[in-house]
Amino acid sequence: MAGREGRSIPRHPLWVRLTHWISTGAFLALVVSGFAILLALPRLFWGETGANAAPAWIVLPLPVNLEQTGWGRNLHFLAAWIFVLNGALYLLLALVSGHLLRRLAPDGDQLRPRHVAADIRAHLHLKGPGVASRYNVLQKLAYLGVILVLGPVMLLSGLTMSPGVTAAYPELFTLFGGRQSARTIHFLAAALFVGFLLIHIWQVLANGPLDLMRGMITGRAARAKSGPIQAREDVR
């Protein structure tokens, strides 16, 4: 179908599209099942120990429900395997293909303070990118932050809650400052992850959602965006 469309250009290679949607499905399953597990102890602690009867750092305004961990844990770990293996494949391909450096790493000019400030202003004024030949710098930093920081923090803090993994790697307790600290960081990182997802979806909706969705599904998209177009100094 893309081939018949004379005015479309390649946007995302197949491996990006596949790993994008697999991680989308796995992430939604992780959020739903993680929430179910959280309900058994909707309190957050620092250090090694914590319980419903123990003093907490934060008591989340959620009902305690002990009956949801069975399916919650099953789905969480199945989805975690898919998310982690898929994420590792993505990272490998992104490194090997040069995708990470070419498309996600900010270019030299994008890191100049003046450019960053202009980009922040454009975001605050909700100005769309218009016809962009590359991701803007805040977008790139958000992607890199999720891929290189938030993802690994989620994985490692999750593994710090595993009595089996920590028997092999007790250093994980040192890294996060204890099992309950790891659980708290796992929750905070998940909240940031959900925040990223909400902004990501909002940005898609605000900048020509049909064409962007087409690009991430078929791999090809029209050159011009259907959203509001702002001429930008960095457009080439």
Partner 1 sequence: MSDLTRRRLVLGSSALGLGGVLGSALGSCELIENGGPRRSGLYGLSDTLTLATQRFLLRDQPLVREFGPEAISAVFPTINTTDPDDPAYRRSKAAGFSDWRLPVSGLVERPAAFTLAELRAMPARTQVTLHACEQGWSAIGGWTGVPLSHVLASVGLKREARFIVIRSVDGWWDTYDLFDALHPQTILAYGMNGGDLPVAHGAPVRLRVERQLGYKSLKYLASIEATDRVDGLGQGRGSMVSELGFSWYAGI
- Can residue 71 be called a binding residue for partner 1 (CB under 8 A)? yes
The residue within the footprint of partner 1, chosen from 161, 188, 204, 229 (CB under 8 A), is: 161
The residue within the footprint of partner 1, chosen from 155, 173, 219, 222 (CB under 8 A), is: 173
The residue within the footprint of partner 1, chosen from 66, 96, 126, 231 (CB under 8 A), is: 66
- Can residue 126 be called a binding residue for partner 1 (CB under 8 A)? no
Three-state DSSP at 195 gives helix
- C-beta of residue 121 within 8 angstroms of C-beta of residue 82: no
Q: Which is nearer to partner 1, 24 or 74 (CB)?
A: 74
Q: Which is nearer to partner 1, 139 or 180 (CB)?
A: 180
Q: Which of 13, 20, 16 is nearest to 200 (CA)?
A: 20
Three-state DSSP at 57 gives coil
Residues numbered 19-48 forming contacts with partner 1, rule: CB under 8 A: 37-38, 40-41, 48
Taking the alpha carbons of 75, 77, 81, 87 in that order, is the dihedral positive or negative?
positive
- C-beta of residue 159 within 8 angstroms of C-beta of residue 173: no
- The token duo for 176 is 């996060």
| Residues in contact with partner 1 by the rule CB under 8 A | 37-38, 40-41, 48-54, 66, 69-71, 73-74, 77-78, 81, 159, 161-170, 173, 179-180, 183
